[in-house]
Structure 1
């Protein structure tokens, strides 16, 4: 931060030099080569006229980041300088020899080049170039991936990342022997794909879904969780992705996660959340055929059984999934009752929540979960009532 005032001073100095030279030329190279600033008003006028536009952002090159030229930086410096010091600097300039003035200009031009910031697209390209370097160290590879993890989050950056060929590079890193590199690579794909149909399509076409689903079975909980995050991001609100997910036995993967209590809790939460999300997407696309696994008895039971968990967050997400599944056309109320024993599960959960309400800790959250439980119970009874009242 200490170099900023000095930078401004140097920049203004060059600005004054250029204005002095222009003035001298207009006066047919008269002996008065200096610049006389008579009033503050005139100083303001000169400052105003120094730039080609009133917009203070005119000096900034939005495409490349930083200042687009020395002139642009001069305009910025003028606008951020004290008028009194500006006048004092102008007087100091008059005492410099021509060689000293030229030296100051060279110093500023070098500083401009050092301070010019690259754009996000340029930063992504630099990181990709590093990843394409086979001799890059593991530490530097981690650093490049961490940079991309931040850069790809904005949707425009994610789209640019595709155009730079970045997806293919990251997908290649999914096969790296280092588990952290695989984990961060999956995380990048998830962030870039989140709510972005364009990127989702590109990643799916590159065949990354099968590899990511394979990584969900990793012995590393972190790698498995990040891979599942990427899978979810790829197929969320994406019918084509969901169909491919089913072809790759995604229903079995979900059932295995949900029915295995030894699986990392984070992964189980993400899995049941995805089930609820997929069911909701189906409800929003009623013209699309429902996925067969939505009506699979064992699959539905694995979701209902989560309500017996001691993890309140997991129970909450399970209730959301059950609520959406109950509203699908192909799910049968009698299966929820006779095979999944949903009525017993809801009653057991009611008693558990009543006990938790006696505690102050998370009491409001418990009340919200109980409200959701009641809502599920009403939907279940309504669906069951329709079956009972149907004439034979």
Structure 2
């Protein structure tokens, strides 16, 4: 069970029991901790949210109904603590994956703009890496996501990531894979500057998990 004590974080159960949060009407108490002045409490509350939401449609529904998605998006965009932002990203991801209604709400809240801001700041590589991976996951679930990302300037943002993190092979691999998904799903040719960067990165890092056919689709 969960025990709520004033100004303390509930001790979480394993994810299969996460719906107990709703049954015990604990979402308001947990979400209130996202506004705590203590970073450790904000971080812990975001972690509890993210853990409860993993592949749990009932928890995702309750989280959305309690306006939790808006709270964690705000943390992801604005919190000064990197640890809090990381757990907020975890909660955002858990809230919207495999739940089209939450993804629609996310878009309506400016969620894609928030993710774009985090990518543009590029000051938190672990969270940046997770967002890029999330993009690819969302496009795999619903190809309608790709045009939204394209129209939000995501290609240019990801090209900037390649320029800033070209020595980080894992970051490059995730970014290149996401770019390939985005460009192919929207039938968008790679900009000339991107194709040139990709040639350099391929020479530096190898095939990065792409087939020769996929590289040719980039124009490389």
Normalising to structure 1: TM-score of the pair? 0.51
Which residue is equivalent to 2:118?
257
The structure having more radius of gyration, on CA atoms, is 1
Select 2:199's aligned residue among 347, 360, 371: 347
Distance in 2, Cα, partners of 1:166 & 1:375: 51
1:325 aligns with 2:177: no
Alpha-carbon RMSD across the aligned residues, in angstroms, is: 2.2
CA contact (8 A) 1:295 1:332 kept: no
Deviation at 1:214, TM superposition (A): 0.8
Distance in 2, Cα, partners of 1:266 & 1:321: 16
Which residue is equivalent to 2:155?
300
Length, aligned pairs only: 217
Normalising to structure 2: TM-score of the pair? 0.88
Q: Following superposition of structure 1 onto structure 2, how do residues 196-211 of structure 1 map, counting pairs within 5 Å?
A: 196-211=56-71
Distance in 2, Cα, partners of 1:186 & 1:257: 17
Which residue is equivalent to 1:163?
23
Q: Which runs of 4+ in 1 moved over 2 A?
A: 289-295, 304-308, 331-334, 369-376, 378-381
Which residue is equivalent to 1:376?
214
Q: Gaps spanning 5+ residues in structure 1: where?
A: 1-120, 284-288, 355-368, 385-392
CA contact (8 A) 1:212 1:230 kept: yes
Q: Following superposition of structure 1 onto structure 2, how do residues 358-377 of structure 1 map, counting pairs within 5 Å?
A: 370-372=208-210, 374=212, 376-377=214-215
Distance in 1, Cα, partners of 2:79 & 2:149: 26
Distance in 2, Cα, partners of 1:265 & 1:222: 12
SS at match of 1:333: coil
Distance in 2, Cα, partners of 1:188 & 1:321: 28
Deviations 1:282-322 (A, max 9, x none): 13xxxxx5465322262211123323322222112112211
CA contact (8 A) 1:171 1:208 kept: yes
User: Of the two structures, which has the highest relative contact order with CA contacts closer than 8 Å and spacing of 6 or more?
Assistant: 2
Distance in 2, Cα, partners of 1:210 & 1:193: 15
Alignment CA distance shift 1:348-1:245 (3 Å)? same
Which residue is equivalent to 1:274?
134
